[in-house]
Structure formats: C-alpha cells, structure tokens
Amino acid sequence: MNKVWVVRKKQRRQHSWVFSNEIKQVEYNPELGDAVLVYDRDKFIGSGIYNPRSLIAVRLYSAQEKELDKSFFVEQIKKAIDYRKTVLPEEIDYRMVYGESDGLPGVAIDRFHSSFALQTFSSAMDKRQDIIISALQEILAVDCVVEKNDFRLRDAEGLARRESLLFGTGRQVLISENKVKYLVDLMQGQKTGFYYDQRVTRARVRALSKDKDVLDVFCYTGGFAINAALAQARSVIAIDASEPAIMLARQNAELNSVAHKIQFEIGDAFKVLRDYHRQQRKFDLINLDPPPFFKSQKEKKQGLRGYKDINLQAMRLLKDGGILVSSTCSHYLFWQDLFDVLSQAAQSVDKTFKIIDRTTQGPDHPVLLSMPESEYLRCYFLEVH
C-alpha cells in the first residue's frame, strides 16, 4: 500500500484526521481516494484514506494495516449494529453508521427499517458506494438505498452534490422512535429524511408536556409536537416554513392518533413568534429546534445573532414557570456560546431562568473523545425562575 509520513502535534496524535500541513512525505504517489498506511515520524499509526485536494488530507479508519474492501465494511457495519443493540435495545430505526465514531470516516447511514439513506463525505467513500451497498446486503435485508449527498461539506472534498436512488424502489417508509410512528420520505425529505439526533431530547420533552400549552417551532415532520400530544399536553401548536414537512407532520399526527390535538402552521418562525407576541399569546413549553444558522467560523457572528433573536422571541412568549427547550445543531456553536446566547436573550426580555437539563445527540451519534467535532447538537432546558 501507499505510505504517508506525517508529523502531528502532541494534542492531535489521537485525532482521526491528518491535515495537509502535517504531511511530510508521501511515497508511491497515492491518488485521490486511495487507502494509505500512515506513519507519525517512524511510528505506524494506522490505515487511512487519502485526499491530496482536501485540507483533511488523511482520514484514519483503522489502527491496523487494513484494506478498504468489502470485508472491512461488513466488519465495521456489524460492529456498529451490535453497539446500537446495546445502547438502543428497543429500536431498529436509527443512525446506523456515524462516520469516524463507527470507524467509517466520511460515511453516514440512517436505517429506516429495511431502507437506508447513505451520505458520503469523502472521495474514498464516494467511490466505494457500491461496496458499501453490497456489504449492507450481506448483513441485512435491503429494500432500498438512497444517496442523500446534497450538502456543503462535499464541496471542500471536491465532490458534486447529488441525491438519487441507488438501489430498489420506495419513497415513504414507516419507522418508529421511542414507540412513536413516523413516515419518512426518502427522496423528498430534508437531510437523510429524519432527524434521529433528537431522540433523547424528544423523550425529555414528552416527559415534561402533560397539561401544558406547547409550542413546537421548526417542527419539520412533527417529532416534538407528536410527543407532546401523546403526553396529554393541553394544547399543541407546531410551526415550520416547509409545506411538504407540515403535510407529512399532519400524516404522522394521524398515524399516532393525535391529529385532533395539534394545530399545524406553515410560516416563518421569526415572523410567527413576533405575531404571537403582539397577540399576547403565552405558552408553558416552547421547543426551538432551528436549522443551523451558520456553517463556518466566518459566519459565526451573524449566526449567533439569529440564535439570540429566536430565543428572545420564544422567551417573551413563556408563562411564569414556563420552559424553553433550545437546541442548536451548528457545529461551531459550542456549549459556552449557547449559554452566552441564552443569557443575553434572557437579559433582553428581563427574565431569569434556571437550567433544568441539557441534552445532546442520542447514542446512535456517539462522540469521540479524540474528535470533538463529532459533537454538534446541544440543547438547554430552561425554566422561568
């Protein structure tokens, strides 16, 4: 195999990525997407995939010398499934592969019963889509595989954005999470079709919703609203800007026999929340689960303003003793940033809050200690004090 010599700083030695400026020497001219053996000074550190065009020049996939062949994918996917059997024993629908955290850098696979949504973030994995599909078929019954590769991270790897059906047929699939049923639209849905990362937060919201007037902002296909309704909330309103998302949310509410309890609204959350304030409407529990308002360090300042604004709008609508559940999925928005945004928003509305809980992405999105970037979802539960 090709060899790459690198020199890494002490604090980066365990990280799964090698940056291009850490590379000292490359032997035998590996090409884009090739597997390489990586040495830190003279010490062998593992096998990785190579991209000479990307800032992330090598992504390590094993501490051993391993070919990136079908048997490797079979082994890793089996491990990933076994891990989820342990941490989510009741579930069969989940994020089945979460990149580096499952030893498959640059690959995400969401499992929707026997349909699968595949995302590839690196050239090496992009080239090996067929091997990944055939590994899946060796392990599980596979009805359908869709490629959901329409996201910005692909640009940095020099990969085109695309979405397509790679295998089988089928558009809508039925899944369950925490015993709640959802239809997932494989081709038209946002991201991979469903946001499995909020599994834990949804369960927490459900536990807090009984007898409450609940507002679910950025509801997508209804995850939080349906949980609140199932928990006997007094009333539930759910808002999203996307009409197809709201249509599916309504179907999902029907599937779970709570359609009569939820009022769905299509609209811009920033505007709707301002209108509600003017109308002096109040809620006991408000869930905010916005899309990322920024995707790079450069956009951070502007993005933080968006978070402050939407949180401030929500805080104004809370009754005494009300609860705000505030999430962010922006990679570069860290816990301290969210804390600061929430404190500033609270000051602006002249309210004080206590933090009653914090949640993050569920155990099907495990975070690597050696790779802080693998944590991206952060959520505070605040109660008006």
> Which H or E run contains 345?
helix 335-348
The residues of the shown chain that bind ligand SAH, judged by CB under 6 A, are 190, 195, 198, 218-221, 223-224, 239-242, 245, 268-270, 289-291
- Counting every residue, how long is the chain? 385
Biggest alpha carbon–alpha carbon distance for the chain: 69
CB of 253 to ligand SAH, least distance (A): 13
CB of 66 to ligand SAH, least distance (A): 36
Phi, psi at 106, each rounded to 5°: 80, 20
Q: Which is nearer to ligand SAH, 220 or 264 (CB)?
A: 220
Of the candidates 144, 219, 329, 379, the residue annotated as catalytic is 329
Residue 200 and residue 325: Cα distance in Å, rounded? 12
CB of 313 to ligand SAH, least distance (A): 11
Q: Which is nearer to ligand SAH, 23 or 237 (CB)?
A: 237
Residue 366 and residue 357: Cα distance in Å, rounded? 19
For residue 374, count other CB atoms closer than 10 A to its CB. Answer: 18
Q: Which is nearer to ligand SAH, 17 or 218 (CB)?
A: 218
CB of 207 to ligand SAH, least distance (A): 16
Q: Which residues contact 115 (CB under 8 A, 6 or more apart)?
A: 142, 143, 144, 145, 146, 168, 170, 173, 186
CB of 239 to ligand SAH, least distance (A): 6
| Nearest CA among 207, 124, 120 for reference residue 166 | 120
232, two tokens: 């006997």
CB of 75 to ligand SAH, least distance (A): 32
- The helix/strand/coil state of 32 is coil
CB of 201 to ligand SAH, least distance (A): 8
Instruction: Count CA atoms within 13 Å of residue 199 on its CB side.
Output: 22
CB of 200 to ligand SAH, least distance (A): 12
> Which residue reads 């950025």 in tokens?
218
Residue 62 and residue 30: Cα distance in Å, rounded? 18
Q: Which is nearer to ligand SAH, 67 or 268 (CB)?
A: 268
CB 37, CB 65: distance < 8 Å:
yes
Which residue has its beta carbon closest to ligand SAH? 223
Q: Which is nearer to ligand SAH, 228 or 382 (CB)?
A: 228
Q: Which is nearer to ligand SAH, 72 or 195 (CB)?
A: 195
DSSP classification of residue 241: S
CA dist 29 → 34, 50, 230 (Å): 10, 11, 59
Instruction: Count CA atoms within 13 Å of residue 25 on its CB side.
Output: 7
CB 66, CB 76: distance < 8 Å:
no
Residue 223 and residue 360: Cα distance in Å, rounded? 16
Active site residue 219: no
Q: Which is nearer to ligand SAH, 101 or 313 (CB)?
A: 313
Q: Which is nearer to ligand SAH, 74 or 377 (CB)?
A: 377
Which sequence positions are flagged as catalytic? 329
